[in-house]
A and B are shown apart, each in its own frame.
Chain A
Amino acid sequence: AQSVTQPDIHITVSEGASLELRCNYSYGATPYLFWYVQSPGQGLQLLLKYFSGDTLVQGIKGFEAEFKRSQSSFNLRKPSVHWSDAAEYFCAVGDEYGNKLVFGAGTILRVKS
């Protein structure tokens, strides 16, 4: 069965600093990988996805993520964080049947000015 680990529960960065959120997955085949963002009291918004091809994927809001098969990782990055990026971020992996996503526990990002 698939699983996703987000090792950092909370991360605090200064506005303008770079960001990297970690995600490790467990899956036997080529995974379908996703990053979502959730603002307080809101639904989840898809930031980006990986399913094949170029291992560096670009998403919305200036985010990117890199798939590294050798490390079973799919870390999310942003070169310069804005105060509006403060939210909770979830990494997810799709199951082999395409019917379900398995989510990590989430990382709460705080941005200090």
Chain B
Amino acid sequence: SQTIHQWPATLVQPVGSPLSLECTVEGTSNPNLYWYRQAAGRGLQLLFYSVGIGQISSEVPQNLSASRPQDRQFILSSKKLLLSDSGFYLCAWSPPPRLAATYEQYFGPGTRLTVT
């Protein structure tokens, strides 16, 4: 069966510091991968998605970036964090559209980021 991991689970970082959040998926190949953010009291905001290694689509302009160095690894980064980057970050995967009929996404446990 497939599993998705995120780490760290919680993170407290000062403003201006760098960020690296990692997401890995096991038990599947060529998944679509996604990064979402939930700010307090808000819904899910899609930040990035990837349909393959090195292929990143950005949904919202910001000071965050994403990379996919391996098929089942997705990394969210920032060079300098802002206070507004605080939130709950969720990684998700879905089977590639050519293999799936219904496009559901499966979510990881999330990372709580607090920028101080």
Contacts and interface: CB of A to CB of B under 8 A. Distances in A.
A41 B112 contact: yes
Contacts of B51: 99
B103 A101 contact: yes
The residue in B88, B92, B103 that gathers the most chain A C-beta atoms within 10 A of its C-beta is B103
Contacts of B32: 99
A34 B44 contact: no
B39 to A, nearest CB: 12
B43 A44 contact: no
Interface of B: 32, 34, 42-44, 46, 49, 51, 88, 90, 92, 94, 97, 100-110, 112
B49 A99 contact: yes
Contact of A94 (B103, B106, B112): B103
Given A43-B90, A106-B43, A98 B103 contact: yes
A90 B112 CA distance: 19
A19 interface: no
A98 B97 contact: yes
